């Protein structure tokens, strides 16, 4: 796991300053404290920070082919690199290292950009082809590894993190105010845009070619849901799934350093520990986190049960309200994109614990998106079925449906009852966005008159509109899984996973997001994934003889963090201080009276914590990345 950066000047006679590449790398030292490397050749400069995982002694980057005409900087892991290496040796390629990085170089020589189709893993890399004067940027299929870029009329700058791009004085620090509404609508930023003008994310499954002053974006992979699912029995599907998961976990355990497992106390992470323990003769360790607050479910007893069952050496840690509050400036600095993801703070602290023992962690991230683990999927499917059998609902009927919420054990029904007569895309916007903003009775009222007038709602929804256009004709479950896999997963969950673990110079691997696992899951009938009221049905059935019943049968709680209570109680004065500071109010985005009303309502009845955390995060982001306030940056530890 590493950090990469670089710059291409479109003028071939304009050289890239090596000092700039060094400065860019200094900002992302946490991604690779083991080594640093540089390559400059007139118009191009490449930089690399290394966290040594495979081939510890000879894996220095940037790395080239035999004659020095193809250079690469690479972040990630290629899990099938040994098979690819054997193939390339048969083609006459000469290797000087044992790394997966060098495999990409020679694979590019054989296939050009189509080499991406051969790779199985997580990656973000840049290749400079000196013969054709072409820069080739690529990101893995799902978006496990981040890659940002900024194109101007004179150059293209790229990096694993935004802060490295901002180290180039030619890149302006200018906010894109129209993206604020997108963030506060979705609580993250779906799509390619960031909050900074001109800085974009390379989309998962896409690559970029820059040559002769022109750039071109191309898609090389998309998650496909077939019109007709595969015809196989549930037992056959279970057997195939277990075989595929075992293969994926075994590949993800390839490393020349110790590997541990991140445990949440749920089905997915327990499955990863179960499969990992079977596939190593080395001691395996596991890690989890809990909270000093007693108002949330404690995951630690379930994690300890899993560790005892599979014989891992187990460690856990506890964080308090003060730990949470103290970390928020660094949370913003590391996340870079304003994401309302309080569990990320817990992930930071458990990663900090794990770093004392391992360099690599396996995680169960992605199981819910692959196999339909969220209750929203089940509840929205039931709404679709109700719509087919019931006449249009009047207000009384809609309230009756909301009353059924206690039966279905999820607040989502109450939230969607007013939309039960709507088309699927309309109420799915509510699933993926802030319901207050969607229903027009909340966030819109927070904005100042001038800022509200500047908002283009279609621009806010543009990324989701595009995704929903891609799912026309799919059944509702497959449509939801596709949209979440292309938005919520890469732009929220995987950003959190990468940024918080790399903050501690730790590599996180996600076997359930192996593209072969995703493609297999997409090929299955919907009722294999949501069966009656059971979510993630096939995964649970396949694992029922492997995982303790206490874990398999427990109600899904996600990764609970008591931030709602903390914001309303212990952090109340701090929240007020941030949101009513003169610096905040002078930005002109929000009506101060509306913010006061929002906080009062939250303190009285609760339910607004995501919005409040998003507002606080947004303000801290401004201070960190626009004003470059030193208090936040001084707390960054490497």
pLDDT, tens only, 464-488? 888 988 998 899 899 999 999 999 9
Q: Are residues 349 and 435 in the same domain?
A: no
Please report the pLDDT score of residue 413 as a whole number.
Answer: 41
Identify the pLDDT of residue 407: 40
Assess if residue 185 is contained within a domain. Answer: no
Over residues 414-439, mean pLDDT: 51
Is residue 75 in some structural domain? yes
Confidence (pLDDT) at 97:
92
Give residue 391's pLDDT. Answer: 57
Mean pLDDT (whole number) for 10-26 = 96
Q: Decide if pLDDT at 284 tops 90.
A: yes
Percent of the chain with pLDDT over 90: 71
Q: What integer pLDDT is reported at residue 521 of this predicted model? A: 97
pLDDT in tens, 140-168: 999 999 999 999 999 999 999 999 999 99
SS3 218: strand
Based on the domain organization, do 377 and 399 belong to the same domain? no
| Domain-embedded: residue 522 | yes
Instruction: Based on the fold, state whether residues 204 and 269 are members of the same structural domain.
Output: no
Answer yes or no: is pLDDT of 420 > 80.
Answer: no
Provide the β-strand partners of residue 209.
Answer: 136, 216
Same domain, 119 and 229: no
- 399 within some domain: yes
- 449 burial (CB, 10 Å; 0-12 / 13-18 / 19+) is exposed
Question: In this structure, are 25 and 134 located in the same domain?
Answer: yes
Residue 237 has pLDDT above 90, yes or no: yes
d(C-alpha 576, C-alpha 55), whole Å? 51
Is 101 found in the same domain as 204? yes
Question: Do 257 and 359 have their domain in common?
Answer: yes
Q: Is residue 181 included in any domain, yes or no?
A: no
C-alpha 103 chain-centroid distance = 26
- CA angle (88 as vertex; 86, 89 as ends), nearest 5: 65
Q: Which residue has the higher pLDDT, 363 or 53?
A: 363
pLDDT score at 557: 64
Q: Quick count: other Cβ atoms within 10 Å of Cβ 565?
A: 17
> What letter would DSSP give residue 30?
G
Whole-model pTM: value is 0.93
Look at the chain and report how many structural domains it folds into. Answer: 3
Query: Does the pLDDT of residue 102 top 90, yes or no?
Result: yes
232 and 152 together in one domain: no
226 burial level (CB within 10 Å; 0-12, 13-18, 19+): exposed
> CATH number of the domain that 286 lies in?
3.40.50.620
Q: Which residues are known to be catalytic?
A: 2
Average pLDDT over residues 301-308: 94
Greater model confidence, 112 or 411: 112
Question: For residue 604, what are the contacts with CB-CB under 8 A and spacing of at least 6?
Answer: none
103 or 571, greater pLDDT: 103
Report strand pairing: 360-362 vs 259-262: parallel
**Does 589 or 630 have the greater pLDDT score?**
589
Which of 184, 204, 219 is where one domain is finished?
A: 219
Q: What is the structure's pLDDT at 56?
A: 72
- Indicate whether 369 and 498 sit together in one domain: yes
Q: Which of 10, 39, 8 is nearest to 22 (CA)?
A: 39
Residues of the chain by 3-state class (helix, strand, coil), percent to 5: 50, 15, 35
The C-alpha torsion from 143 through 148 and 151 to 156, rounded to 10°, is -110
Check residue 423 and give its pLDDT: 59
pLDDT of 457? 83
Please check whether residues 237 and 285 belong to one and the same domain: yes
Evaluate whether residue 34 is within a structural domain. yes
CATH of the domain at 20: 3.60.20.10
Q: What is the pLDDT of residues 66-96, one digit of tens each?
A: 999 999 999 999 999 999 999 999 999 999 9
Give residue 635's pLDDT band: very low, low, confident or very high (50, 70, 90): very low
Is the same domain home to 241 and 340?
yes
Question: What is d(CA 44, CA 72) in angstroms, rounded to the nearest whole number?
Answer: 12
pLDDT number for residue 554: 84
| 3-class state of residue 143 by DSSP | coil
Say if residue 581 is in the same domain as residue 634.
yes
Spatial distance between the Cα atoms of 272 and 37, rounded to a whole number of angstroms: 34
Instruction: Judge whether residue 186 has pLDDT over 80.
Output: yes
Q: Is 135 contained in some domain?
A: yes
Task: Walk across the sheet containing 35-41 and list its strands.
Answer: 35-41, 44-50, 2-9, 155-159, 148-151, 199-201
Q: What residue numbers bound the domain in which 150 lies?
A: 2-174+193-219
Residue where a domain terminates, one of 165, 185, 219: 219
Residue 186 lies in a domain: no
Name the average pLDDT for the chain.
88
């Amino acid at each position: 796991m590493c950090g990469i950066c670089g710059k291409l000047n479109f003028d071939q006679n304009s050289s890239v300053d090596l000092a700039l590449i060094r400065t860019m790398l200094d900002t992302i030292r946490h991604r690779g404290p083991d080594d640093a490397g540089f390559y400059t050749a007139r118009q191009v400069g490449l930089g690399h920070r290394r966290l040594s995982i495979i081939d510890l002694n000879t894996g220095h980057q940037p790395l080239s082919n035999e004659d020095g005409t193809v250079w690469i900087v690479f972040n990630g892991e290629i899990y099938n690199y040994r098979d690819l290496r054997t193939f390339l040796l048969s083609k006459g390629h000469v290797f000087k290292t044992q790394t997966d990085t060098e495999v990409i170089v020679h694979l590019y020589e054989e296939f050009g950009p189509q080499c991406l189709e051969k790779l199985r893993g997580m990656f973000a890399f840049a290749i400079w082809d000196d013969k054709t004067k072409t820069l080739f940027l690529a990101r893995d299929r799902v978006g496990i590894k981040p890659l940002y870029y900024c194109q101007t009329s004179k150059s293209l700058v790229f990096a694993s993190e935004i802060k490295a791009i901002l180290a180039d004085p030619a890149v302006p620090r200018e906010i894109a105010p129209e993206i604020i509404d997108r963030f506060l609508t979705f609580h993250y930023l779906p799509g390619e845009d960031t909050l900074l003008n001109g800085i974009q994310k390379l989309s998962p499954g896409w690559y970029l070619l820059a040559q002769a002053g022109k750039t071109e974006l191309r898609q090389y992979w998309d998650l496909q849901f077939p019109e007709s699912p595969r015809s196989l029995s549930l037992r056959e599907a279970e057997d195939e799934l277990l075989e595929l998961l075992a293969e994926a976990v075994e590949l993800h355990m390839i490393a020349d350093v110790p590997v541990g497992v991140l445990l949440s106390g749920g089905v997915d992470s327990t499955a990863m520990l179960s499969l990992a323990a079977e596939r190593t003769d080395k001691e395996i360790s596991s890690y989890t986190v809990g909270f000093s607050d007693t108002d949330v479910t404690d995951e630690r007893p379930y994690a300890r049960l899993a560790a005892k069952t599979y014989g891992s050496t187990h460690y856990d840690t506890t964080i308090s309200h003060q730990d949470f509050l103290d970390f928020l400036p660094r949370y913003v600095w590391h996340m870079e994109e304003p994401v309302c993801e309080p569990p990320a703070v817990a992930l930071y602290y458990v990663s900090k614990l794990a770093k004392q023992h391992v360099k690599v962690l396996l995680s169960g991230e992605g199981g819910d998106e692959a196999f339909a683990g969220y209750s929203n999927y089940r509840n929205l499917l039931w709404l679709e079925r109700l719509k087919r059998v019931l006449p249009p609902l009047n207000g009384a009927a809609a309230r009756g449906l909301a009353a059924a919420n206690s039966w279905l054990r999820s607040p989502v029904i109450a939230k969607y009852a007013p939309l039960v007569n709507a088309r699927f895309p309309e109420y799915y916007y509510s699933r993926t966005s802030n319901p207050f903003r969607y229903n027009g009775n909340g966030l819109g009222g927070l904005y100042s008159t001038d800022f509200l007038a500047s908002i283009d709602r279609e621009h806010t929804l543009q990324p989701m509109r595009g995704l929903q256009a891609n799912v026309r004709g799919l059944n509702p479950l497959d449509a939801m899984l596709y949209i979440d896999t292309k938005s919520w997963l890469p732009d929220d969950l995987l950003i959190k996973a990468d940024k918080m673990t790399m903050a501690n110079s730790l590599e996180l691997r996600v076997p359930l997001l192996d593209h072969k696992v995703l493609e297999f899951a997409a090929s299955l009938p919907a009722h294999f994934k949501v069966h009656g009221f059971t979510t993630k049905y096939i995964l649970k059935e396949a694992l029922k003889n492997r995982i303790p019943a206490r874990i398999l049968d427990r109600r899904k709680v996600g990764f609970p963090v008591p931030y709602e209570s903390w914001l309303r109680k212990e952090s109340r004065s701090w929240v007020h201080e941030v949101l009513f500071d003169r610096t905040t109010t002078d930005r002109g985005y929000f009506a101060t009276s509306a913010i006061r009303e929002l906080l009062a309502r939250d303190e009285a009845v609760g339910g607004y914590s995501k919005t409040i955390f998003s507002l606080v995060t947004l303000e801290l982001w401004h201070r960190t990345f626009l004003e470059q306030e030193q208090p936040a940056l001084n707390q960054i530890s490497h």
